[in-house]
Homo-oligomer: A and B are copies of this chain.
Amino acid sequence: MGATKTEHFTDSQNQIATIAKALGHPARIAIIEYLMKVDECICGDIVNELPLAQPTVSQHLKELKNAGIIKGNISGNAICYCIDEKAFDVLNSFFFKITQTISKSKCC
């Protein structure tokens, strides 16, 4: 064993988990925060911002892209990355439900 039993869960559960998993690494949070700070597409700068080697950063960017959290456009020999709102729509509606549930909860 060792592999997640994806097939036992709903599409929605898997989708939320996939996005959350992609956010589950500090380097990837740092990338997102950097994209927010500069507030526009970033061409080139990301590797220099992070305390990790270039292949490692490239790998983290790929994971964020696969999860739909960022999108990249080729621009000459650089690539422009920015945040993709679609993933956050999914998460926001999940968190909205949680917040609502908690606020009216009679529990603990």
Contact residues of A with B, CB < 8 Å?
4-6, 8-10, 13-14, 16-18, 20-30, 32-33, 36, 39-41, 51-52, 71, 73, 80, 82-83, 85, 88, 91-92, 95, 97-99, 101-102, 104-108
Contacts and interface: CB of A to CB of B under 8 A. Distances in A.
Contacts of A17: 23-26, 28-29
A9 to B, nearest CB: 4
What secondary structure prevails in chain A residues at the interface with B?
Answer: helix
Contact of A51 (B5, B33, B80): B5
Interchain residue pairs A-B with the least CB separation, the first 5: A21-B24, A9-B26, A20-B23, A8-B51, A13-B26
B13 A29 contact: yes
